[in-house]
Each structure stands twice: as C-alpha cells, then as structure tokens.
A and B are shown apart, each in its own frame.
Chain A
Amino acid sequence: MIGYLIKRLLLAVLVLWLVSLLVFVGTEILPGDVAQLALGQFATPESVATLRTELGLDQPAALRYLDWLFGILQGDWGQSITTKTPVADMLSQRIGNTVLLAGTTTLIATPLAICIGLLLSLGTGGWLDRLGSITILGLSATPEFLIATLAVLLFAVKLYWFPAVAYLSPGASWQDTARALFLPVATLVIVVTAQIARMTRAIISNLLGQPFAEMAMLKGVPRYKIVSQHALIMAVGPLANVVALNVAYLVSGVVVVETVFAYPGLARLMVDAVQARDMPVVQACAMVFGAVYVILILLADTLADLFDPFLTTSRKATGQ
C-alpha cells in the first residue's frame, strides 16, 4: 500500500517536472526575444541589450532553465517585467482569493451535484426525468460568460441585490465579502453542478446495467435502495475522479469568471500578464495552475484505485 502511494508520488513529481519543462520551453524559446517583446518594436538596440543582460537572457537556455527551476524550488519566482516587483509577492496576494472562490464553489457544488445526479437516476424515464437531463445537458454546454452576464444583468443591474464587480477590500466585513463573492460563486456553481450531476447520472446508470443491480431488481429491491445502497458504493471511485476533474475544470471557469467580475484572483493576473507579455508572471501562473491540476488528477486516480473493489484486492494480493 505504502509502496503504491510512493510510486504515485514519484509519478506526480515526474509529471510536474515535465510540466515545468513545457512551460519554460513554451515561454522562453517560442517567442524569440523576451526583452524585445517587453520593450516593444521601437526600443533602441542598447536598451534591449541592457534588459537582456538584466534578465540573464545572454546565458544559454539550459542554464536559464536550471536557474529558474531552482529559483522556484527555493520560493524565488523571478521578477515581473512590467511592475518590477517579485513574482512571488504578486502570487501570494492573489492565490488566497482564487482559493476562496474555487473552494467555496466546490463545497457548494459537489454535494448539490451528487444529490441531483442521484435523484435523476432514480427516475425511470418519465417526462420529469427527461426534462431534468436536458436542463443539465444544456447548462453544462453553456459558456460561463453567458451565465455570468445574465446573472449580472438580473441581480446587479436590474435588482441591485449584489455588486456587479467583485472587489475584495482587505478590511471588509464578512457580509461584504459574501455579497461580493455571491455572483461569481453562483456562476461557477451552476456550471460545475451541471457537469458533475450529468456524470454522476451516467456512472450510476452504467452500474445499474450490471448483473449485481439486475439481480437486486429481480429480487424485488426497490429502485431507490438499489441506487443508494448497491450502486452508490460502487460509484465512489469514479465519482471521486469526476469531482477532482471538475475541480480541475474550475481552472478554465475561474479564468472567465474572474475576468467578468474583475475579481482579483490568480487567473486574472495570468490573463493580464499574457496581454502585457510579462513572461515571468505567465510562467509562474502556468506552473501554479499546472501543478494544482496534476495533483488533483493524481489524487483522483489514487482515490479511484483505492475504492475500486476489484483492483484493491488484486493489488493487496500482489503486494503492489
């Protein structure tokens, strides 16, 4: 068991290293000259040369990569080209806000979605069941910015219930923070809930077609009991996977939602940095998002394996 977890962990480290390589190659080698890009096309050759030395661009790429990697490992993420402040400071200001947004969304959406998914799989194909599935399908195919703009129009512009811009001031009371968070969180909850609910339903109906469920049906066990007792336990593994993947999916949702609501989070920092071509900030943000994603997916895979009744026994038997 412990050996298996260690293997997983080593795999995660390996993937993270590959991610860092990809991010570095993508941002350092593709664009040609970062210094030229940062200063614009009207910069004098002298100023470009100065900035190049300042950024260490006259060093070979492999050396710069190692420098960058060891810097990250020691908490030194480099310096922003546009604001000249350390990237680590910029990150630490924003990460908390994004974690607050994503965390609140996950806490609300996950139980809600699993309940809705289970309710939908209780039905046996009546019109209510069909209506529910089509609504869920429609919502999961809707872009975040439609839901976000509709929410702003209705609740901020017409009804004045919530602010349209989610500005978090440091000393604000928790009521103000909650009000500011409401619309962005609501938008994300709608999108994520629809996704998880649909997959929950797919997983359960897949299980209901299997022999053990048919057996229970033939014995006359009521459908709600088959769903809640027989199928749900089998579904824990795949469900853990779905939830983790959807938290990862939050990454793209968060990018859009933070932009709509001018929310001071990490994703907006990254979008702004991409627009300004501030490469150290882009690299840092990409690394953070990439790392979160990799860790969540590996966590999900591990959970799914741990809860898989067939895999665990064989793994225990072989001692893997």
Chain B
Amino acid sequence: MTTKPDLAPLPRQRPSLTLWFSFGVLGAFVFIAVFSPWLVPFDPTEFVTDLPFQAGNGASILGSDYLGRDLFSRLIAGTSLTLLMGLGATLLAHLVGDTLGMLVALRGGWLDVVLCRIVDVALSLPKIIVGLVVVAALGSSITTLVVVTGLIYSASVFRVARALGRDLVGQDFMRVARMRGEGPVWLLFGEMLPHVVRPLAADFAIRMSFAILFMSSLSFLGLGVQPPLADWGALVRENLQGLGGGSLAPIYPALAIALVSIALNLFVDVLGERNDAAELSK
C-alpha cells in the first residue's frame, strides 16, 4: 500500500478530434483576446464609411456595422471583453461556491443548513429573471454584471462542491488526517482539494460557458454592456436591424459566442467529467 490513495489508471487514449477542435477554438480566441490591440485593422469606435451594413471588401473583411464602423475590428475588440467578463464571473462563482461548499461539507452544523436553504431559494428563481431584477435595481455596469453573474452561479457551484466534499469526508484518509489533528485549512486545501480538482475544473469550463451565454443574453437585451463598449451579445443587438436587409452583421458575433460555448462544452465532454446534476441546475 502506498501512503497516497491510488488513482484508478486512466485508459490511454489518443487525443480525439473533438479535443483538438475545442483546444483550437479556445486557443484562437485567447490569442485574439490577448493581442487584440495589434490585430484590429481599424479603430473599433471610428467610422470607416458613411454607409451602414456594407458587405465585406478587401480592407474591411466583414464590412461595416449599423453606424458604419468596421465590424471585424469591433468583433475583435469585443473578444477580450466577452472572455474576461466570463472568466471573472466564473472565478468569483468558484471562489465563493467552492470555499463555502467544501467548508460546510467538512463542518456541517447550522451553517450547512442555513446555506443550503439559501441556495435552494436562490436556485428556485430563474437566473435571467434575477439578472433582470438586479439590473432594474442597480443599473448596468460591467462590474455589476460580473459580480451579479458570479454570485448567481456560485449557488450552483456551491451544490456541486458540497456534494463532492461530502463524498470525501467519510473516507479513511480524511479520518486519518483528522486524527492527526490537522486544522481545517489543511483538511480543505491539503487533503480535499487534490481529489476534487478534476471535477471542479470540468465544472469551471461548463460554468464559464453558462456565464458567457448569460451575460451575452443580458447584453443582447440591451441590459448588459452599454455603448460605445460592446461585447459579442451587444454586437448582435446593435446590428439586429441589418437582418431585414439581408446583412450578416448580427450573425458573426452570435456565431463567435456559439463557438466558444460549444468548444467549452466539448472540452468537458472529452474530459468525461460531465456532471448531470450540475447540468440540471443550469
């Protein structure tokens, strides 16, 4: 017997096509987000033409938007905003949800009961309605949007983390650690965390796709990112009027959101850590 609990040997697999696709898409978008200031052919807020919804040509690849700005540049500038907002909200959700979830799994007691009830009520409201009510109350700024989205999703993360934690608490290595007299900090981060990194990482990816879809929806409704800034959801909204004239302008940003979301989902699928319970509480 080794001192560490043995992990089951993973079946050796060649990386599948779907994994390559998802890494490719995510990598490309991260690259675009990081280097966006050098990638934009035009200033995203400057007018390049007087005519809205021009078709693409040599200089301006995707044509102009509803005010005559370069759509391609705006799309690229929106990439970092969309991804950073998604990342920020998901980080917050996991920071709050994981810490509290694992803590109550370890401790139990009245805090467990109280937090579980609060989460039950929070999850018994449709997320988009909670988002709408908060935006109606506080107005929309990027900070509000990210914090609210993070807190809304921390309830679902809390449930996942608590369930994972409870599976561990009764196991032998935890009893041993407790008998050794380890403190709660070591129990949480030294003993429990290594066992839940993989499912939590999968949850992080899936949660990030939810967060991006959620914030894009709010922006699409005109209640998220406000002009002149625009994330992808806001770009769809701005250019929606062009649809009647057959312009593809609203399709590109919507496609970008779909690509990121699909890539994150495929990644989790390949990881084989899809948690149906978490999925249901979307």
Which residues of A are in contact with B by a Cβ distance under 8 Å?
15, 18-19, 22-23, 26-27, 30-31, 134, 137-138, 140-146, 149-150, 152-153, 157-158, 164, 199, 202-203, 206, 241-242, 245, 248-249, 251-252, 255-256, 259-260, 270-271, 273-275, 277, 279, 282, 285-286, 289-290, 293-294, 297
The verdict on B96 contacting chain A, using a C-beta distance below 8 Å, is no
Given the known interface contacts A199-B276, A293-B125, the answer about A142 and B133 at a Cβ–Cβ threshold of 8 Å is no
Which residues of B are in contact with A by a Cβ distance under 8 Å?
18, 120-121, 124-130, 132-138, 209, 213, 216-217, 220-223, 233, 236, 240, 243-246, 248, 250-251, 254-255, 257-258, 261-262, 264-266, 269, 274, 276, 279-280, 282
State A260–B241 Cα separation when bound (angstroms). 10
State A144–B258 Cα separation when bound (angstroms). 9
Q: Please give the distance in Å from A242's CB to the nearest CB on chain B.
A: 7
Given the known interface contacts A143-B258, A242-B280, the answer about A149 and B221 at a Cβ–Cβ threshold of 8 Å is no
Docked-complex contact B124 and A143, CB < 8 angstroms: no
State A153–B120 Cα separation when bound (angstroms). 41
Docked-complex contact B276 and A251, CB < 8 angstroms: no
Can you list 16 A-B pairs with a CB-CB distance of less than 8 A?
Answer: A22-B121, A30-B137, A141-B262, A142-B258, A142-B261, A145-B216, A153-B243, A157-B244, A157-B245, A164-B244, A241-B280, A249-B282, A251-B126, A255-B221, A259-B221, A293-B125
Other CB < 8 Å A-B pairs besides A137-B266, A143-B213, A248-B126, 17 of them?
A: A27-B136, A137-B269, A141-B265, A143-B261, A146-B254, A146-B258, A164-B243, A199-B280, A202-B276, A242-B280, A252-B217, A255-B128, A271-B221, A271-B222, A290-B125, A290-B126, A293-B129
Q: Which residues of B contact A27 (CB under 8 A)?
A: 133, 136-137
Docked-complex contact A286 and B254, CB < 8 angstroms: no
Q: Please give the distance in Å from B131's CB to the nearest CB on chain A.
A: 9
Docked-complex contact A15 and B279, CB < 8 angstroms: no
State A19–B125 Cα separation when bound (angstroms). 8
Q: Out of A146, A158, A203, which one reaches B255, CB within 8 Å?
A: A146
State A170–B236 Cα separation when bound (angstroms). 31
Q: Please give the distance in Å from A131's CB to the nearest CB on chain B.
A: 11
Docked-complex contact B125 and A149, CB < 8 angstroms: no
State A205–B245 Cα separation when bound (angstroms). 46
Docked-complex contact A256 and B132, CB < 8 angstroms: no
Q: Which residues of B contact A248 (CB under 8 A)?
A: 126
Question: Which single residue of chain B is at the shortest CB-CB distance from A276?
Answer: B136
Docked-complex contact A260 and B251, CB < 8 angstroms: no
Q: Which residues of B contact A274 (CB under 8 A)?
A: 132-133, 135-136, 223
Docked-complex contact A275 and B223, CB < 8 angstroms: yes
Q: Please give the distance in Å from B239's CB to the nearest CB on chain A.
A: 9
Question: Which single residue of chain B is at the shortest CB-CB distance from A277?
Answer: B136
Q: Please give the distance in Å from A173's CB to the nearest CB on chain B.
A: 25
State A259–B224 Cα separation when bound (angstroms). 15
Docked-complex contact A31 and B138, CB < 8 angstroms: yes
State A252–B218 Cα separation when bound (angstroms). 10
Q: Which residues of B contact A203 (CB under 8 A)?
A: 276
Docked-complex contact A150 and B251, CB < 8 angstroms: yes
Q: Please give the distance in Å from A225's CB to the nearest CB on chain B.
A: 25
Question: Which single residue of chain A is at the shortest CB-CB distance from B280?
Answer: A245
Q: Which residues of B contact A157 (CB under 8 A)?
A: 243-246
Q: Which residues of B contact A142 (CB under 8 A)?
A: 258, 261-262
Docked-complex contact A146 and B257, CB < 8 angstroms: yes
Docked-complex contact B124 and A293, CB < 8 angstroms: yes
Docked-complex contact B132 and A286, CB < 8 angstroms: yes
Given the known interface contacts A271-B132, A282-B136, the answer about A252 and B243 at a Cβ–Cβ threshold of 8 Å is no
Question: Which single residue of chain A is at the shortest CB-CB distance from B123?
Answer: A297
Given the known interface contacts A134-B18, A199-B276, the answer about A141 and B127 at a Cβ–Cβ threshold of 8 Å is no
Q: Please give the distance in Å from A261's CB to the nearest CB on chain B.
A: 11
Q: Which residues of A contact B233 (CB under 8 A)?
A: 145
Given the known interface contacts A141-B261, A146-B258, A149-B254, the answer about A256 and B133 at a Cβ–Cβ threshold of 8 Å is no
Q: Which residues of B contact A164 (CB under 8 A)?
A: 243-244
Given the known interface contacts A26-B134, A146-B255, A282-B132, the answer about A271 and B266 at a Cβ–Cβ threshold of 8 Å is no
Docked-complex contact A152 and B243, CB < 8 angstroms: yes
Q: Please give the distance in Å from A276's CB to the nearest CB on chain B.
A: 9
Given the known interface contacts A143-B213, A149-B250, A202-B276, the answer about A252 and B126 at a Cβ–Cβ threshold of 8 Å is yes
Which of B126, B217, B223, B233 counts the most A-chain CB atoms under 10 A from its CB? B126
Docked-complex contact A252 and B258, CB < 8 angstroms: no
Q: Please give the distance in Å from A139's CB to the nearest CB on chain B.
A: 9
Q: Which residues of B contact A256 (CB under 8 A)?
A: 217, 220-221
Q: Please give the distance in Å from A54's CB to the nearest CB on chain B.
A: 20
Q: Which residues of A contact B258 (CB under 8 A)?
A: 138, 141-143, 146
Q: Please give the distance in Å from B119's CB to the nearest CB on chain A.
A: 12
Q: Please give the distance in Å from A90's CB to the nearest CB on chain B.
A: 16
Q: Which residues of B contact A259 (CB under 8 A)?
A: 220-221
Q: Which residues of A contact B18 (CB under 8 A)?
A: 134
Docked-complex contact B251 and A149, CB < 8 angstroms: yes
Q: Which residues of A contact B130 (CB under 8 A)?
A: 26
Q: Please give the distance in Å from A51's CB to the nearest CB on chain B.
A: 17
Q: Which residues of A contact B255 (CB under 8 A)?
A: 146
Q: Please give the distance in Å from A120's CB to the nearest CB on chain B.
A: 14
State A168–B257 Cα separation when bound (angstroms). 31
Docked-complex contact B136 and A252, CB < 8 angstroms: no
Given the known interface contacts A271-B223, A293-B125, the answer about A143 and B132 at a Cβ–Cβ threshold of 8 Å is no
Q: Out of A19, A30, A255, A277, which one reaches B217, CB within 8 Å?
A: A255
State A273–B137 Cα separation when bound (angstroms). 11
Question: Which single residue of chain B is at the shortest CB-CB distance from A34?
Answer: B137
